[in-house]
């Protein structure tokens, strides 16, 4: 077994084209890691080594024959188990789906296949992408590669755990209130929630359609951009699908941030909530690094976090209940307790609550748009503390309200979380960057500059 585990997608792709390990070698290596480590990590819900190896052979043959599908050709990508892959179950980590087998690929799978990616398998998730880490589901919850006793974040928990453990360089997640960015923060990764509507959700089991986004998890900023480039595209099958005004979100990854104005949203973690001092220090350090790169960093205020959080939760609960109402009436016992409680909340919200939340959402969108007339990028906290212990459900539940990810789920703006360092206990710290709608190229440029100045960080010791 060679050591390919922590190579970036960019490095793996370069190797394919200059005599390095082939897609077959890469998949052999990564499959061995998954078989060795997943029994403890529980990142995977479905993994069929023979099928994945066959896909690797196909991609290798294509490359040998001169058919190069681009930067993701032969790159392993894992898929959250609420996304349809034709002929395989979309279980949503739930007994309630009753072995439903997808008839067609989701739009993102179609795009990944067209780009030559190797679909590695299905990753673990909170049940129906809501609730929290549960021990009463068909499979146990994923664990954090930095410390198996800790929560890897969610709901795209297996996608985060698997990328952090070196199972694959890229994974697909979904984000309705932070479910790509939370595992990215908890597992020390880059998590990118694109602008609402930029990536089609056709074939993805919905949680709350006015909030749902498909996003990616990776270990580097450039890998996040490569994945997004492959996913972006208008799709008539998704009513919210919108065209991107660009063709390459990595068109400018120069490290000079001169002329770029960055608004530092301190009050999220200093007033609205009080972050762990290590997280606060990491945010101040990030502001310093962005200044060092030439950016102009100023303090800026958004509406209070509670307003964003309440709007997010009223919309999520109401829309989620509407989706699940029939199943909750018919077979509530098929759900785990956490998802059942989360979804049932919608039964106690009225049309008045829902419309009030949408009206407040309009005001919040205007407030954020106003800020983006003064600055180009927002810097804020993502999580307020390092990940909680999995055996502490009260603390885990508390951390779901102690975060600053919901603002950009509510407004639809693109947002990215990135590892900023390690806590004294060896768990990841993170920061969040957000941009105007469809400004992913600028978001990735600033994130890449931060990543370069921050410098390399270690991988989880158990897997390095």
Partner 1 sequence: MIVEHEAVMRAATAAGLDKAVKAFPQDLIAAAAAAKAFRDGLGGPPAPSDEPWPPMRVAAVS
> What's the min distance (Å) between Cβ of 442 and partner 1?
25
The answer to whether 284 contacts partner 1 (rule: CB under 8 A) is no
Pairwise CA distance, residues 62 & 56, whole Å: 10
Q: Which is nearer to partner 1, 4 or 137 (CB)?
A: 137
The answer to whether 337 contacts partner 1 (rule: CB under 8 A) is yes
Pairwise CA distance, residues 377 & 416, whole Å: 11
**Binding region for partner 1 (CB under 8 A) out of 59-67, 141-149, 175-183, 302-310:** 302-310
Rule CB under 8 A: choose which of 317, 383, 420, 437 binds partner 1. Answer: 317
Q: Which is nearer to partner 1, 240 or 423 (CB)?
A: 240
The answer to whether 309 contacts partner 1 (rule: CB under 8 A) is yes
Total chain residues near partner 1 (CB under 8 A): 38
The answer to whether 271 contacts partner 1 (rule: CB under 8 A) is no
Cβ neighbour number for residue 286 with a 10 Å cutoff: 26
Q: Which is nearer to partner 1, 187 or 410 (CB)?
A: 410
The answer to whether 135 contacts partner 1 (rule: CB under 8 A) is no
Any idea of the CA torsion for 125, 401, 451, 148, to the nearest 10 degrees? Answer: -50
- Show Cβ contacts of residue 450 under 8 Å, excluding neighbours closer than 6 positions: 286, 289, 290, 293, 418, 431, 433
What single string gives the DSSP state of each residue in 344-368?
Answer: HGGGG--HHHHHHHHHHHHHHHHHH
Pairwise CA distance, residues 452 & 444, whole Å: 12
- Among positions 187-246, residues that touch partner 1 (CB under 8 A) are 210
The answer to whether 273 contacts partner 1 (rule: CB under 8 A) is no
> What's the min distance (Å) between Cβ of 45 and partner 1?
24
Q: Torsions phi, psi of 430, nearest 5?
A: -150, 165
The answer to whether 313 contacts partner 1 (rule: CB under 8 A) is yes
Give the residue among 146, 122, 118, 160 at the shortest CA–CA distance from 12.
118
> What's the min distance (Å) between Cβ of 185 and partner 1?
23
The answer to whether 341 contacts partner 1 (rule: CB under 8 A) is yes
Q: Which is nearer to partner 1, 27 or 339 (CB)?
A: 339
Q: Which is nearer to partner 1, 81 or 127 (CB)?
A: 127
Place of tokens 């780009």: 115
Pairwise CA distance, residues 436 & 432, whole Å: 14
Element (H, E) at 76: strand 76-80
Rule CB under 8 A: choose which of 301, 348, 458, 462 binds partner 1. Answer: 348
Q: Which residues are the active-site residues?
A: 80, 155, 179
What single string gives the DSSP state of each residue in 394-451?
Answer: HHHHHHTTSBS-HHHHHH---EEEEEEEE-TTS-EEEEEEEESTT-HHHHHHHHHHHH
DSSP conformational letter for 95 = G
The answer to whether 330 contacts partner 1 (rule: CB under 8 A) is yes
The answer to whether 327 contacts partner 1 (rule: CB under 8 A) is no
Rule CB under 8 A: choose which of 51, 53, 345, 422 binds partner 1. Answer: 345
Interface with partner 1 by CB under 8 A: which residues? Answer: 210, 306-307, 309-311, 313-314, 317, 325, 328-333, 337, 340-349, 353, 355-363, 365
């Amino acid at each position: 077994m060679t050591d390919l585990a922590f190579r970036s997608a960019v490095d793996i792709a370069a190797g394919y084209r200059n005599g390095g390990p082939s897609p077959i070698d890469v998949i052999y290596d990564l499959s061995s890691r998954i078989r060795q480590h997943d029994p403890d990590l529980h990142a995977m819900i479905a993994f069929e080594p023979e099928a994945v190896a066959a896909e690797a052979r196909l991609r290798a043959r294509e490359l040998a024959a001169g058919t190069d599908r681009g930067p993701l050709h032969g790159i392993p990508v894992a898929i959250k188990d609420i996304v349809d892959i034709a002929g395989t179950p979309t279980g949503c980590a739930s007994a309630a789906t009753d072995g439903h087998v997808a008839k067609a690929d989701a739009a993102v799978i179609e795009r990944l296949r067209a780009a030559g990616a190797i679909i590695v398998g299905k990753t673990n998730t909170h049940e129906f992408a809501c609730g929290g880490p549960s021990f009463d589901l068909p499979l146990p919850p994923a664990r954090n590669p930095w410390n198996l006793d800790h929560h890897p974040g969610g709901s795209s928990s297996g996608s985060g755990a698997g990328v952090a453990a070196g199972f694959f360089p890229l994974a697909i997640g979904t984000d309705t209130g932070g479910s790509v960015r939370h595992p990215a923060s908890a597992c020390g990764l880059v998590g990118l929630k694109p602008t609402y509507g930029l990536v089609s959700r056709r074939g993805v089991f919905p949680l709350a359609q006015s909030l749902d986004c498909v996003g990616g998890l990776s270990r580097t900023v450039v890998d996040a951009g490569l994945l997004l480039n492959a996913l972006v595209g208008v799709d008539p099958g998704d009513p919210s699908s919108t065209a991107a005004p660009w063709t390459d979100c990595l068109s400018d990854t120069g490290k000079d941030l001169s002329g770029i104005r960055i608004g530092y949203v301190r009050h999220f973690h200093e007033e609205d909530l009080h972050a762990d001092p290590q997280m606060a220090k990491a945010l101040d350090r990030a502001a310093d690094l962005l200044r060092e790169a030439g950016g102009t960093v100023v303090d800026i205020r958004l509406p209070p976090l509670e307003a964003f959080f309440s709007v997010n939760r009223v919309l999520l609960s109401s829309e989620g209940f509407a989706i699940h109402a029939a199943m909750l009436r018919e077979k509530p016992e098929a759900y785990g307790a956490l998802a059942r409680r989360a979804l049932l909340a919608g039964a106690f919200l009225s049309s008045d609550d829902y419309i009030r939340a949408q009206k407040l959402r309009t005001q919040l969108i205007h407030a954020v748009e106003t800020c983006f007339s003064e600055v180009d990028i927002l810097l804020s906290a993502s999580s307020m503390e390092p990940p909680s212990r999995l055996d502490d459900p009260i603390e885990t539940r508390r951390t779901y309200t102690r975060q600053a990810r919901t603002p950009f789920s509510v407004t639809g703006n693109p947002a990215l979380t990135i590892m900023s360092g390690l806590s004294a206990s060896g768990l990841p710290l993170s920061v969040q960057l957000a941009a105007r709608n469809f400004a992913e190229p600028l978001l990735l440029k600033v994130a890449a500059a931060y990543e370069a100045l921050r410098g390399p960080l270690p991988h989880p010791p158990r897997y390095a």
